[in-house]
Amino acid sequence: MYIKDVIGFIQEIAPLETAESFDNVGLLVGDKNTKVSGVLITLDTLENVVDEAIMENCNLIVSFHPIIFKGLKKINGKNYVEKTIIKAIKNDIAIFSMHTALDNSNIGVSAKMAEMLNLNRTKVLLPKKQELSKLTTYIPKENAEKLLQALYKAGAGSIGNYSECSFNYPGVSTFKGNDFSNPVIGKKNKLEINPETCINVLFEKYKEAQILEALFKNHIYEEVAYEIIPLNNTNQQLGMGMVGELPIDLSEEQFLQMVKDVFFAEGIRFSSLQNKKIKKVAVLGGSGAFAIDQAKSMRADAYISADFKYHDFFKAEKDILLVDIGHYESEQFTKNLLFDYLNKKFTNFATSLGKTKIVLSKINTNPINYL
């Protein structure tokens, strides 16, 4: 197995194109054509994590947070980032990071938090807008099915739990090729009037290149007539945070204790109690103050995230219980999510050469301590 294979697997749950534009995701160090001796999974890549990778004979570190974030101008070991990069390169260890791509996945960071809390009827807290496009094209009826299947295979036509979604209707097309044309149907310089099927499929914007490739490969005409229309729709499957319901209503005190236990939080900070039952809960792994208003507008009884500032807690007013469990604590199970996922994938991929090992880092990289 090669590094590029592992990257391919991970992108099935979190395509790198869905990461935020400010982020720095992907293969930060290393060559994707290197054979993988083992994969170490961690939340952060620090020097001691690289040491762990060396010890475990893993030449690929799959890290949630990117160790290189804003770029490096010098690499001379003057800070922990440069030291880590130097150690990784010297020891032929690759580092791959997916960060906000996994935050934006509906089976990613926040989905794992929701799973740990046993939330039901979950959906994305902040679904993204303007991430979808529509392809319209026209083709003779007898060729429509083959083209549709190719478009589905390339990733078009999926809406939530439904695949192979399209809307098609019959119509009449006209065309006349010039002297240089080579029409599949009819003759050059002669007007053709043909019954055709109009095909419409949705797709995620980032898949445009592969959808167009499938269109051109599987359409029968010399010149393919098509339109791609960017949509203002919200993509309910893509975005940060999750919101769902607890199996049973809890008092605020019961809820806070449960949260503390589930996330092994040594200290949690929360807004004032209102003596209300907690049923609907919003979660967002990492720094989530930006989604407080959204959690309120979704009528969540509580919002669990991290890195809330003093003034953020005032925004709770009497509407919501804000709970800051700590950045590390909120994202810690992301490691398990990746571990379980890759284990499943590797089992299917395993060949006679044996299974590539996956190691869950034992290092707690939380830089924050509590008294």
Strand (E) or helix (H) holding 26: strand 26-29
Per DSSP, the three-state class of 126 is strand
The least distance separating Zn ion from the CB of residue 360, rounded to whole angstroms, comes to 18
The least distance separating Zn ion from the CB of residue 281, rounded to whole angstroms, comes to 20
- Report residue 242 CA to chain centroid gap: 13
Q: Which is nearer to Zn ion, 66 or 286 (CB)?
A: 286
Looking at residue 221, what DSSP letter applies? S
CA distance 137 to 228: 9
The least distance separating Zn ion from the CB of residue 312, rounded to whole angstroms, comes to 17
Q: Could you report how far apart the first and last alpha carbons of the chain are, in Å? A: 45
Please enumerate in sequence order all residues whose Cβ is within 8 A of that of 219, keeping only pairs 6 or more positions apart, or say none.
Answer: 137, 139, 143, 147
- Side chain identity at residue 300, one-letter code: A
The least distance separating Zn ion from the CB of residue 139, rounded to whole angstroms, comes to 46
How many binding residues for Zn ion (CB under 5 A)?
Answer: 1
Looking at residue 351, what DSSP letter applies? B
Site for Zn ion in 280-339 (CB under 5 A): 286
Q: Which is nearer to Zn ion, 143 or 366 (CB)?
A: 366
Tell me which residue has tokens 């919200």: 234
Residue nearest to Zn ion (CB): 286
The least distance separating Zn ion from the CB of residue 48, rounded to whole angstroms, comes to 19
- Report residue 327 CA to chain centroid gap: 19
Q: Which two tokens stand for residue 47?
A: 């020097």
- Side chain identity at residue 311, one-letter code: H
Q: Which is nearer to Zn ion, 244 or 286 (CB)?
A: 286
The least distance separating Zn ion from the CB of residue 119, rounded to whole angstroms, comes to 20
Q: Which is nearer to Zn ion, 239 or 286 (CB)?
A: 286
Q: Which is nearer to Zn ion, 294 or 330 (CB)?
A: 330
The least distance separating Zn ion from the CB of residue 216, rounded to whole angstroms, comes to 40
Q: Which is nearer to Zn ion, 125 or 201 (CB)?
A: 125
CA distance 133 to 54: 45
Per DSSP, the three-state class of 40 is strand
The least distance separating Zn ion from the CB of residue 327, rounded to whole angstroms, comes to 6
Q: Which is nearer to Zn ion, 157 or 286 (CB)?
A: 286
Q: Which two tokens stand for residue 293?
A: 């208003």
Alpha-carbon dihedral sign for residues 309, 44, 126, 124 = negative
Q: Which is nearer to Zn ion, 177 or 285 (CB)?
A: 285
Per DSSP, the three-state class of 349 is helix
Site for Zn ion in 37-76 (CB under 5 A): none
CA distance 343 to 41: 11
Binding site for Zn ion (CB under 5 A): 286
